[in-house]
Amino acid sequence: MTKRLPILAIAGILFTLSTTIMPAQSKSAPNDRWVATWATSEEMAVTAPDRPVLPPNIKMPDFRHMKGAHMPPGIPTISSNQTVRMIVHTSIPGHKLRIELSNAFGKDAVVIGDAHVALRVTGSSIDKNSDRPLTFSGNKQVEIGPGMVIVSDPVNLSLKPMSDLAVSLYIAKAGGIPTNHTPGLHTAYVSTGDTAASASMPAPKTNTSYVWLRSVDVVAPANSFAISCLGDSITDGFRTTVDGNMAWPTLLAKRFSERQQGPRIAVLNAGISGNEVLRDGAGVSALARFDRDVESEPGVRWVVLLEAINDINIHGQITGPGAVTADDLIAGYKQLIARAHMDHLKIMGATLTPDEGVWLAGPTGEATRQKVNQWIRSSGAFDAIVDFDALVREPAHPKRMRPEFDSGDHIHPNDAGNAAMANAFHLNAFTN
């Protein structure tokens, strides 16, 4: 006859088991939370340019001979049996991290055969003592099907604020154009074979794109949070110094990191060069990507919106049917504000900067820009505003950017312009 254990004895056994399991659990503080310390916004696998609707007297110029013209780099081709090492410049610190990989716009599955993170020393070289292999649900290899987002298992790694982190992915199988962010403005290194754990990349080819990499998250104190900067090429940092970390969201993150008190606040760059509020073109529209690029990033509590100049230049330099108007853009802004507030996010509106001298710019579009900016300043619809227009415009010629902030193409601020934009924020405006 089987003897039954007394209830108290069973309880004692369960207590013993629970105390045995406890040391293997996370040592994070009870209220710590995941917060993205770096993120990028991914584009369509095949980016379909939204061709401008031109007034009758304007013809498409030959960009090759335009002074100051600079076209974004092409999307890199990453094939099977290659390793790509990408450098990300993080914002807030942490001792435990994970990465998110996305095949949002891929038409075929991609198989990651090996993945590592490590602190970057210089170029493609890493600190080998900091190298950490990554797993995905306990497995070294992971297949990312079309449209999927995959999160790695957490690893312990001491990450200081404003660090350079190397993320290395060995691509065991790939087909088609990768889900990407171009231009990433940080040099990435591609070598043949599985070199994810190498101290430096052997005989690498280089590009300035992020492929399949969506974000890096850290475990942070409960009062930490992230600001997502939703925008186009001006937010993306286009025309700033490659590997210089000079985009205004990065410089804003640096200001937060230098504060001696207050919560840890990450700043995420959700800019896509060429992006529009209302229509797909370079990436899907801001309205279409808000959930994926902003709301779904862990820890986001604020949004800074700087976008619409592409809508104006591509579709708003004409009048009549099909033309984008100030009312159209304001309606789009209202939708983004409503979407943010539905998810208990606060949203800051940024005024649109001047662009006289750009071949597309004209009086019709300028009138729209002025109406939109007036609404941003006076409507009270945003939780806060930052007046980039007043900051970067030339006082004697307000339709034009100040020469000292102009990268040369009359629309994208240079390093100094981005620094001025980052310094325009009142840090205390971002309440938890």
* DSSP characters over 309-340: HHHHHHHSSS-STT---HHHHHHHHHHHHHHH
The identity of residue 369, as a single letter, is: R
- Looking up tokens 């390093």 gives 415
Given this model, what pLDDT does residue 26 score? 42
pLDDT at 18 over 50: no
DSSP state of 294: I
* 188 phi, psi to nearest 5 deg: -110, 155
* 268 phi, psi to nearest 5 deg: -110, 135
In 3D, which of 46, 111, 99, 110 has the Cα closest to residue 74? 46
In 3D, which of 101, 116, 76 has the Cα closest to residue 199? 116
Mean of per-residue pLDDT scores for the chain: 90
Q: What percent of the chain clears pLDDT 90, i.e. is strictly above it?
A: 80
CA distance 320 to 208: 40
Given this model, what pLDDT does residue 74 score? 74
Q: Which CATH architecture has domain 31-71+223-432?
A: 3-Layer(aba) Sandwich (3.40)
Given this model, what pLDDT does residue 400 score? 98
Per-residue pLDDT of 55-68, as tens digits, reads 877 776 655 555 55
Q: Where are the domains of the chain?
A: 31-71+223-432, 76-217
Give how far Cα 20 sits from Cα of 12, 14, 138, 153, Å: 12, 10, 21, 22
Count CB-CB contacts under 10 A for residue 308: 30
Give how far Cα 333 sits from Cα of 45, 71, 284, 301, 306, Å: 26, 28, 16, 18, 10
Structure-token pair, residue 148? 């999927």
Q: How confident is the model at residue 5 (pLDDT cuts 50, 70, 90)?
A: very low
Per-residue pLDDT of 282-340, as tens digits, reads 889 999 999 999 999 999 999 999 999 999 999 999 999 889 999 999 999 999 999 99
* 18 phi, psi to nearest 5 deg: -65, -40
CA distance 119 to 90: 11
In 3D, which of 180, 206, 192 has the Cα closest to residue 82? 192
Q: What's the half-sphere exposure (Cβ side, CA atoms, 13 Å) at 291? A: 3
Given this model, what pLDDT does residue 62 score? 58
Regarding predicted confidence, which is higher, 10 or 195?
195
CA distance 173 to 274: 30
154-166 as b/e: b if 16+ CB within 10 A: beebebebbbbbb
Regarding predicted confidence, which is higher, 216 or 74?
216
In 3D, which of 136, 259, 147, 127 has the Cα closest to residue 197? 127
Alpha helices in 278-424 (DSSP H): 286-290, 309-315, 326-342, 363-378, 388-392, 415-423
3-class secondary structure, 56: coil
**pTM metric for this prediction:** 0.90
Count CB-CB contacts under 10 A for residue 61: 11
Per-residue pLDDT of 162-210, as tens digits, reads 999 999 999 999 988 899 999 999 999 999 999 999 999 999 999 999 9
CA distance 208 to 150: 23
Q: How confident is the model at residue 28 (pLDDT cuts 50, 70, 90)?
A: low
Structure-token pair, residue 408? 């040369």
> CA quadruple 359, 241, 417, 274: dihedral positive or negative?
positive
Q: How far separated are the first and last CA of the chain, in Å rounded?
A: 63
Given this model, what pLDDT does residue 25 score? 37
Reply yes or no on domain 76-217 having CATH 2.60.120. Answer: yes
CA distance 130 to 126: 8
Give how far Cα 27 sits from Cα of 24, 95, 223, 224, 429, Å: 8, 11, 18, 18, 33
Per-residue pLDDT of 120-172, as tens digits, reads 999 999 999 999 999 999 999 999 999 999 999 999 999 999 999 999 999 99
pLDDT at 119 over 80: yes
Given this model, what pLDDT does residue 177 score? 86
31-71+223-432 shares its CATH topology with 76-217:
no
Given this model, what pLDDT does residue 432 score? 72
DSSP state of 23: G
In 3D, which of 350, 269, 357, 272 has the Cα closest to residue 313? 357
